[in-house]
Amino acid sequence: MDELDRVMHYLAKLPGLGPRSARRAVLHLLRKRETLMRPLADALGQAAEAVTECSVCGNLDASDPCHICRDDKRDGAVICVVEDVGDVWALERAGAFSGRYHVLGGLLSALDGVGPEDLNIESLIARAGSPEVTEIILAMDATVDGQTTAHYISDRLAGTGVSITRLARGVPVGGELDYLDDGTLTQALKARREV
């Protein structure tokens, strides 16, 4: 059936699901049409409708500004710069950071042709100019692109008087932030040092 073939086609594109597991997932959904298939369809549709990019920090959320930017209890003096919304989630799960975020939406990459204009970098420079901001944490992955991006931003912020830090070398070389356990993230954040 066309409808199920399409569901299978899209499910097979999710990380961790291949064609075979997508087929089993569709069978499972078919068996639970009212309690799983329809609710998942509705939740996905509503999420796709609701999610928007925060005009302040670039985070993805159901409101703009996002719930983190709107939270008065968070420390506006420290901005943690990350590649992706997944990194925000990872740091929030670790519960080790109470400042604000800035989501770049990617990393500089000569290979993939990603330049500064493709990322949320100008808005970061603008935020860094606010008198409230005293520290910018560059929390990019410890990969070549991650460190290239960190250097670029660090150069752009030179002379602003804002303290620029990076995560401590608890982050394993070549490791992606998103995959780290909470303890490593917490340690790396606590032991962060001036660039």
Q: Which of 23, 74, 151, 156 binds a copy of itself (CB under 8 A)?
A: 23
In the DSSP assignment, the letter for residue 178 is G
Residue 189, both tokens:
């954040």
Which is closer to a copy of itself, CB of 27 or CB of 191? 27
Tell me the C-alpha distance between 186 and 98, whole Å.
12
Q: Which of 6, 70, 169, 190 binds a copy of itself (CB under 8 A)?
A: 6
Quick one: which H or E segment has residue 27?
helix 19-31
Q: Is 57 in the site for Zn ion (CB under 5 A)?
A: yes
Q: Is 59 in the site for Zn ion (CB under 5 A)?
A: yes
Tell me the C-alpha distance between 195 and 192, whole Å.
9
Which is closer to a copy of itself, CB of 40 or CB of 110? 40
Site mask for a copy of itself (CB under 8 A), range 46-85, x = bound: xxx-xx--------xxx----x----------------xx
Tell me the C-alpha distance between 37 and 98, whole Å.
37
Q: Is 141 in the site for a copy of itself (CB under 8 A)?
A: no
Q: Is 169 in the site for a copy of itself (CB under 8 A)?
A: no
Tell me the C-alpha distance between 182 and 126, whole Å.
31
Which is closer to Zn ion, CB of 102 or CB of 166? 102
Q: Is 159 helix (H, G, I), strand (E, B) or coil?
A: coil
Tell me the C-alpha distance between 125 and 133, whole Å.
11
Query: In angstroms, how far is the first alpha carbon of the chain from the final one?
Result: 57
Q: Point out which residues bind Zn ion (CB under 5 A).
A: 54, 56-57, 59, 65-66, 69
Q: Point out which residues bind a copy of itself (CB under 8 A).
A: 1-4, 6-7, 9-11, 13-17, 21, 23-25, 27-31, 33, 36-48, 50-51, 60-62, 67, 84-86, 89, 178
